[in-house]
Amino acid sequence: MKRWIASLVIGLIPLFALAANDSPEQITRKVSDDVLAIIKSNEKDPTKVRDLVDARVAPLADYTRMTALAVGRYWRTATPEQQQALTREFRTMLVRTYLSALTVYKNAEVEVKGSRPGAGDDEQSVRTEVSLPGQKPIPVDFSFERTRQGWKVFDISVDGISFIVNNRNQFSAVIRKDGVDGLIKLLADRNNALKNGAAAK
């Protein structure tokens, strides 16, 4: 058993090393296969699925840019500490709301449809279709940016609805009313509520 784990870990190392040179399309293929495998083997335990998937996607996501885009022009007025806190809470929110619901997709199939250039050479968007048996496939697009550690995702849009855009107006309304700290507090409170809700179940 121990040897099995060891060989698995050793087998994974070159995979991660390779990941830096992969094209966005290849990354999407690999990660979606891994995520579906995680969901299938842990379908009874949404929390475990959430944590495993979170660990798998974290190195591939630029949460800071995601948060900056969602916060919009108020990002510039936030102090570095506030920006860090915003990023932390936004990430927690995304993980708790979206990744906790993944068990629904245990029979899902992801088809990578191709990629197209985004704004400039350093951005690409990968188009996929997620389908559940007997349902119309849902288009899911991933926006990638080129960083020094390879390609990373900074936005996801589901059926044309972008995570970033869909939070921006809500966030700016909160910031106008209660300031940046108000938004941090609101996100933190909500994340706590989600945590307690999950614990109560």
Residue-wise burial string across 107-129, b where 16 or more C-beta atoms lie within 10 A, e elsewhere: ebebebeebeebeeeebbbbbbe
Binder among 32, 87, 115, 128 for another protein (CB under 8 A): 87
Does position 136 interact with another protein (CB under 8 A)? The reply is yes
Measured distance CA(80)–CA(59) in Å, rounded? 21
Does position 142 interact with another protein (CB under 8 A)? The reply is no
Binder among 49, 126, 174, 180 for another protein (CB under 8 A): 174
Q: 153 by DSSP, 3-state: which?
A: strand
Task: State which of positions 44-73 bind another protein (CB under 8 A).
Answer: 58-59, 61-65, 68-69, 71-73
Count of residues in contact with another protein, rule CB under 8 A: 53
Does position 104 interact with another protein (CB under 8 A)? The reply is yes
Cβ 157 to another protein, closest distance in Å? 8
Cβ 109 to another protein, closest distance in Å? 16
Stretch that binds another protein, among 5-13, 28-36, 39-47, 152-160 (CB under 8 A): 152-160
Spatial neighbors of 143 by CB under 8 A, at least 6 apart, are 118, 123, 124, 125, 153, 154, 155, 156, 157
| Tokens 């927690």, residue located | 92
Q: Which residues bind another protein (CB under 8 A)?
A: 58-59, 61-65, 68-69, 71-76, 80, 83-84, 87-88, 91, 97, 101, 104, 122, 127, 134, 136, 139, 145-149, 152, 154, 157, 159-162, 165-166, 168-174, 186, 190, 194
